[in-house]
Structure 1
Amino acid sequence: MSDYVNDYFNHVQQIALQVKKSQIDNINDAAHVFTEAIKNKCCIYAFGASHAGIITEELFYRTGGLAVINPILSSSLMLNTRPVTMTSQLERLAGFGKIIFSSIPAEKGDVLLIHSVSGRNPVSIDIALSAKEKGLTVIVLTNLSYSKKVNSRHTSNKKLYEVADIVIDNCGDFEDSSIKLSGLEQKIGPTSTAIGSLIVNSIVIKTADNLLKLGISPPIFHSANVDGGDAFNELLLNNYKDNIHYMM
């Protein structure tokens, strides 16, 4: 009898090891860019549409996370949108990403991390292109093998990885889901959220380590559910208020 759950655990572990083996230099490069941005008092932004946006939420306002990660959370692209199918329509809408990007106070020298598994939809590509035009460093987290097998929906015919400064491959399966069950045509068990979280938290860890080596105290949140956590976090938010835009 097949043990599909065990297969899934093993598969995610194998992908994690593949990421560690093949992507560590790109992760370190991303952490260097984060480090320089924090050192130079520049801003860091993160974006993803629909389920890809879960990685932005993972980076944003949480214990053990960098206080200076500014999420780009367009409500029409989040999973509480009704009907939820609207998120799929809007991430394919030409020019929508430019409108979203125009609403954030990004400046030259800032950093943008974008997560998109397929990297084919216009919203992420337009945001990346707009960011590059303004002088931001663009870091892309994607699935390269998946992206290379599908056509771009952008007018430029480019995929997201083709407009990035740094590309990190999540090393996942085509279509993201990974386990084939007997009697079920479609695969089950996506991996991009688990692996994406592992990758972005690795960037945060390396960034904090870099800052410490520079003699800079990393702006890392404490849990708000421990004694003294609220006071510590309030001081952190105040110290970095010029680089934090999610409190307004």
Structure 2
Amino acid sequence: MRNYVQEYYQHVNKITAQVLDTQYDQILKAAKAFSESIKNGNTIYVFGASHAGIIAEELFYRTGGLAVINPILNPTLMLNTRPVTLTSQMERMNGFGKEIFNSTAAKSGDTILIHSVSGRNPVSVDMALAAKKKGLTTIGLTNITYSSQVSSRHESGKNLYEVVDIVIDNCGDFEDSSMLLEGMDQKIGPTSTIIGSFIVNSIVIETVNNLLKAGVTPPVFHSANVDGGDEFNKKVLEKNKNNIHYM
């Protein structure tokens, strides 16, 4: 009898090892972009639509997180939208990503990380193009196996990995789901959230390492649920208020 949970665990470990083996240099490049922005008094943005937006939430306002990471959480693209199918329609609308980006306080010298597993939808491509035009360093977290097998829905004909400065492959399966159970035609067990969280937190770790080496105090949050946490975080927010746009 197959142990599907064990198989899924082994598959996730295999992908994690592949990420370390093939994407480590890209993670370091992303961390350099993050740390250079922070050292130069700039800030960081992160965006993803629908489930890709979970990674934006993962990096935002949390213990051990960088205070200057600003999520772009457009309400029509998040999972609390009703009907939730609206998110699929909105992420396919050409020009929408540009308008979302232009509504932010982003400026030249900032860095933006855009997460899109398929990388094919216009909202992410438009955002990357608008960010590059404004002088931001653009990082795309995507699935190259998946994205290279689907056509772009963007008017340029390009997918996310073709328009960003730094590409990080999450090394996942085509369509993201990874487990085909006996008696089913459709795979289950997506891996992009698990692997994506590992990747972006690795970027944060290396960013903090870079800042420490440069003699810069990293703007990192404590937990609000430990004694003294609120007071500590209040000081972090105040010190970095010019680069925090979610308060």
Task: Give the TM-score band, short-chain normalised.
Answer: over 0.9
Aligned-pair CA distance for 1:155: 0.5
Could you tell me which amino acid in structure 1 is paired with residue 104 of structure 2?
A: I
Residue 98 (1) aligns with residue 84 (2) = no
The 1-side partners of 2:149 and 2:79 are apart by 26
The 2-side partners of 1:116 and 1:166 are apart by 14
Work out the number of aligned pairs and report it: 247
The normalised TM-score by structure 1 is: 0.99
The normalised TM-score by structure 2 is: 0.99
Could you tell me which amino acid in structure 2 is paired with residue 175 of structure 1?
A: E
Q: Superposed, which structure 2 residues align to 1:64-103 within 5 Å?
A: 64-103=64-103
Deviation track 1:188-231 (CA, whole Å, cap 9, x = no partner) reads 10000000000000000000011011111111110000000000
Could you tell me which amino acid in structure 2 is paired with residue 187 of structure 1?
A: K
Residue of structure 2 equivalent to 1:129: 129
Could you tell me which amino acid in structure 2 is paired with residue 90 of structure 1?
A: M
Residue 10 (1) aligns with residue 10 (2) = yes
Aligned-pair CA distance for 1:143: 0.2
Residue of structure 2 equivalent to 1:109: 109
Deviation track 1:38-81 (CA, whole Å, cap 9, x = no partner) reads 00011110000000000000000000110000000000000000
The 1-side partners of 2:213 and 2:133 are apart by 32
Residue 53 (1) aligns with residue 42 (2) = no
The 3-state SS of whatever aligns with 2:23 is helix
The 3-state SS of whatever aligns with 2:246 is coil
Q: C-alpha root-mean-square deviation of aligned residues, in Å?
A: 0.4
Gaps of 5+ in 1: none
Aligned-pair CA distance for 1:146: 0.5
The 2-side partners of 1:36 and 1:130 are apart by 20
Gaps of 5+ in 2: none
The 2-side partners of 1:217 and 1:134 are apart by 28
The 2-side partners of 1:105 and 1:67 are apart by 16
Aligned-pair CA distance for 1:99: 1.1
The 1-side partners of 2:104 and 2:87 are apart by 20
Give every structure 1 segment of 4 or more consecutive aligned residues whose post-TM-superposition deviation is greater than 2 Å: none
Percent of aligned pairs sharing the same letter: 68
Residue of structure 2 equivalent to 1:185: 185
Residue of structure 1 equivalent to 2:209: 209
The 3-state SS of whatever aligns with 1:222 is coil
Q: Superposed, which structure 2 residues align to 1:144-183 within 5 Å?
A: 144-183=144-183
